[in-house]
Structure 1
Amino acid sequence: MSAMAHEPLSQEELLLEGFLALGTPEGYRAEFLGGDIVVTPPPDGDHEGYISLIMKQVVRRSMTDMDFSGNKGLKLARGGRCPKNHAIPDGTWAPADQGLFWGADSWMPPDGVSLVAEVTSTRAGRDRDAKRHCYALGGIPLYLLVDREKSSVSLFSDPDADDYQQVDTRPFGKEIRLPEPFAFDLDTTGF
């Protein structure tokens, strides 16, 4: 009996395998978005400042006790514009009572994640478009985008297929409502 030949891997599958085996320099992040391997340098201080301002407000004002990760790798749904995507949001929040991050692999599915946040940097277009579509496809209920170039904050909600159906954009200095499970107005005065 002869062994069955395995079907050759597609170019995308080969890229994904290469991505998963990739060693990145210390402090850099590698993501696989829309069939592209994206390597990002460590963030600047202002970038981290925005995440810190959001995180502090969530801790103080959220109606639900939330766990936070600034480096959680998410394996997002396949298909659509985002096949086999692996993204690392600048911030990921999930209800603490789920214990979602405890014992999770480096790359985990987004099930149970309530909110992801990105602060634009050198590749703002990826945060505005590619990541938005990937997070929607992954079913993440809320995507908060701090757009430094546009001096605005956008909250994307109601994911359907590979995009969000609702968006609320406010200029820096204005509050933006974070719905349940957060249930508070995020103050962007410090942005």
Structure 2
Amino acid sequence: MSAMPHEPLTQADVLLEGFLALGTPEGFRAELIEGEIVVTPPPDGDHEDYISRIVKQVIRQSRTEMDFSGNKGLKLVGSPGSSRNHVIPDITFAPADLSLFRGADSWMPCDGVAMVVEVTSTRAQVDRESKRCSYARGGIPLYLLIDRGASALTLFSEAEGSDYLQRRTIHFGKVLPLPEPFAFELDTAAFE
């Protein structure tokens, strides 16, 4: 009995293999987004302050009890012809009754995720465009972008294909209504 010949590796396969074998320096994070390996340095204090303010409000005010994870790796559908995206949101929220994070691998599927949050940093266009499209293709219902360069928050909703059909933008200092399962008004007064 002869061995079956292996199918040749595609460029996307080689890229994914190389990405998964990366030795990223401590504190840095590496993501594979739309066929590009993106490495970002540790976040600054303002970045973490925004994250903290969002998490506190969601925990205190959300209609549905939420679990959250900072820097949880998600496997998402890639654009046609590219490998699966491996993206690390700044915050990932999921209903607590799903226990989504318990026992999850480093890179988990996005099924059950209610919302992801990104705070722009050194590569803001990745958060504004590439990650938005990746999250939409993954079917993540809500994507909240805190855009420090624009002093604004944008909530993307109604994922369809590779983008969201709805977006609502407010400037820092205003309130942003979050839909179910959150169902409260996110206060950004302290973001200014």
TM-score range, shorter chain: over 0.9
Matched with 2:94 is 94
Amino acid corresponding to residue 36 of structure 1 in structure 2: E
Distance 1:24 1:144 in 2: 26
Distance 1:85 1:182 in 2: 27
Amino acid corresponding to residue 117 of structure 2 in structure 1: A
Distance 2:80 2:156 in 1: 18
Deviation at 1:8, TM superposition (A): 1.4
- Count of aligned pairs: 191
Query: What SS does the corresponding residue of 2:155 show, helix, strand or coil?
Result: strand
Structure 1 stretches lacking a partner, 5+ long: none
**Most deviating of 169-178 and 78-87:** 78-87
Deviation at 1:21, TM superposition (A): 1.2
Q: Which segments of structure 1 move beyond 6 Å, counting only runs of 4 or more?
A: none
* Aligned residues of 1:81 and 1:134 also touching (Cα < 8 A): no
Deviation at 1:43, TM superposition (A): 0.2
TM-score, normalisation: structure 2:
0.97
* Aligned residues of 1:73 and 1:89 also touching (Cα < 8 A): yes
**Most deviating of 77-86 and 170-179:** 77-86
Matched with 1:47 is 47
Matched with 1:68 is 68
Deviation at 1:14, TM superposition (A): 0.3
Amino acid corresponding to residue 137 of structure 1 in structure 2: R
Q: Does 1:22 align with 2:35?
A: no
* Aligned residues of 1:73 and 1:106 also touching (Cα < 8 A): yes
1:128-147 equivalence runs, <5 A: 128-147=128-147
Query: What SS does the corresponding residue of 1:190 show, helix, strand or coil?
Result: helix
Amino acid corresponding to residue 68 of structure 1 in structure 2: F
Encode CA deviations 1:37-65: one digit per residue, 9 max, x unaligned. Answer: 11110000000000000000001110011
Structure 2 stretches lacking a partner, 5+ long: none
* Aligned residues of 2:156 and 2:168 also touching (Cα < 8 A): yes
What percent of counterpart residues are identical?
A: 66
Q: Does 1:150 align with 2:132?
A: no
Distance 1:186 1:179 in 2: 10
Deviation at 1:83, TM superposition (A): 3.8
Deviation at 1:23, TM superposition (A): 1.3
Matched with 1:13 is 13
Instruction: Classify 1:3/1:133 alpha carbon distance in 2 versus 1 (closer, same or farther; 3 Å).
Output: same
